[in-house]
Chain A
Amino acid sequence: MAIELKNVTHVYQARVEMNIVALNNIDLTIEDGELLALIGHTGSGKSTLAQHLNGLLKPTSGKVLIDGEDINENRSKYRFEVGLVFQYPEYQLFEETVKKDIAFGPKNMGLTEDEINQRVKSAMELVGLNYEEIGEKSPFELSGGQMRRVALAGVLAMQPRYLVLDEPTAGLDPKGRYYLLNDIKRLHEQGTTIVIISHSMDDVAWLAERIAVMERGRIVKTGSPKDIFSQYSFLSDMGLDVPQASELSYKLIEKGVPIKNCFKLEELADELQNLLKNGGKTGA
């Protein structure tokens, strides 16, 4: 059970003559239940890749398989299996009330009224929005963070097995960001497979189990956050941010300080405590 991309290449029609290949021979397997982060600078192909995962874009060549079946052979079947949350999804809210907006997807699935209501309720619960309090409100009365969560609930109400989030925290304030990241973490713990695209390495450090680094339409590296974030010069050469904990541990190690490379602040605090209080002699 997985999403597999096999030799996926995508060339945008309008750009054929310019020879800009958005995706170049991608091989990637997204395992069931994992939380994968796609990182890479703007234009590296992350969003294009995301839009292949539910058949919104078709590969120019190559295949996207779910459970071994080519999703482009049976797109309607897989449309609801993979929920795609775009960048700034709150721009797509349009209904008069929060409830109606979230119900839009399930309605399209042809579910009964009861089922739809049930799904709206549980989707709102999943993202921490109170059904009684804001269900009847206009989505446009809400804060930016709440609007983003309504948009996410609209996708969750279709109960996708896979959730693909493109820059889910962009533009949110710290609180909105914190709530949303917690929602994502909770969904993952409940078994949803998640692919997240983010420029925020702090978010990625906090959430991801595996990271794929994209550059110029290719996946140039995959690994655990520990592997990836310990390669400070590789990432900064690519113009990517590095979590500050990684940057600090890298710089200290360069100066000969005997600590391990850490990408999480708490881990680094442990290392430094050990170094400064015990002279770094224990544990190593």
Chain B
Amino acid sequence: MSETIFSLRDVNYIYDHGDEYALSEINLDINKGEFVAILGHNGSGKSTLAKLLNGLFIPTDGTVLVNNMDTQESKFIWDIRKCAGMVFQNPDNQIVATIVRDDVAFGLENIGIPTEEMPERIDKALKAVNMLEFIDSAPHMLSGGQKQRVAIAGILAMLPEALILDESTAMLDPSGRKEVLETVKKLNRENGITVIWITHFMQEAVEADRVLVMNDGKISLDGTPKQVFSDGRKIRSFGLDVPPMARLSEELINRGIVLPNGILTVDDMQREVLKLWQSNLKM
């Protein structure tokens, strides 16, 4: 039986200045080691949910447990933040120091790690995101993808169990996006770090173990990428889209070609087309 890291019960959230529910009736368990992608149009509640997961927001009603610590209780707040670190959208807004090393050290200072422990933690964290060679560089000389990896290292140095990435690839170019996603996948696979990946890129969600679709402050779909993207009409009704290969598969099925469910990538589609074509040749 796997252990849960995040557990939300009957969670509602209303922003201070409003009377509308940004989130309502959220019940959700996320297991340790899961890679969960969260999709949803702007205003659907994705970022609000993310901010509840590490105690940046406290639920209006209900409870949020992080490793069994209730985010309502202020005595847990530092332990919760250490356990679940957050990476934001804009790489330039989260770099605080003038040298990569100091930037990674910043979080460690905040949580009171003794100075002599720092170098090892910093080295390890930068190594994990493949940025060790830039330890003495100035962050502003780095690319967007590199800056985001430094931001991730800043969290890793605190030895978290979970990483929450709130559209952390939105402002990056395709190679930067790939770089960050690969880094996070590796941390999930090799170090067992739980990943919450919020994105507008459907193709990125394909890489997750589990996809949540938010709409109107609720979780509307929850399943594997194959399950979630199997119903294009439903996905589009939430203001989203299916990945291109799933769209192609819909098109072909509409034209009477028999394809299995759940084609999401170019490799899937290539395999299926080749199979069909070769069996046609034999006939």
Residues on A close to B: CB < 8 A? 41-43, 88, 143-145, 170-176, 199, 202, 239-241, 243-245, 247-248, 251-252, 255, 257, 265-266, 268-269, 272-273, 275-277, 279
Contact = CB atoms under 8 A, between A and B. Distances in A.
Please give me the 9 A-B residue pairs with the lowest Cβ-Cβ distance, nearest first: A269-B251, A244-B244, A175-B239, A241-B174, A171-B170, A42-B173, A173-B41, A273-B255, A174-B241
A37 to B, nearest CB: 15
Interface of B: 40-43, 89, 143-144, 167, 170-171, 173-176, 200, 202, 239-241, 243-245, 247-248, 251-252, 255-257, 266, 269-270, 273-274, 276-277, 280-281
Contact of A269 (B240, B243, B248): B248
Contacts of A248: 245, 248, 266, 269-270, 273
A265 B248 contact: yes
Contact of A202 (B43, B244, B273): B244
Nearest to A171: B170
21 contacts: A42-B144, A42-B176, A43-B143, A88-B171, A170-B171, A171-B167, A172-B200, A175-B42, A175-B239, A175-B240, A199-B173, A244-B243, A244-B245, A245-B248, A247-B266, A248-B248, A255-B274, A272-B252, A272-B257, A275-B273, A275-B277
Contacts of A145: 42
Given A173-B42, A174-B239, A257-B277, A265 B251 contact: yes
Given A247-B266, A277-B256, A268 B248 contact: yes
A75 B170 CA distance: 35
B16 to A, nearest CB: 15
Given A272-B273, A276-B257, A277-B257, A175 B41 contact: yes
Given A171-B171, A248-B269, A276-B257, 11 more contacts: A170-B170, A170-B171, A171-B170, A244-B266, A248-B266, A255-B270, A265-B247, A269-B248, A272-B248, A275-B273, A276-B280
A276 B239 contact: no
A176 B40 CA distance: 12
A175 to B, nearest CB: 4
A279 B277 CA distance: 8
A173 B245 contact: no
A255 B273 CA distance: 11
Contacts of A244: 243-245, 248, 266
A104 to B, nearest CB: 25
Contacts of B276: 276
A152 to B, nearest CB: 17
Contacts of B239: 173-175
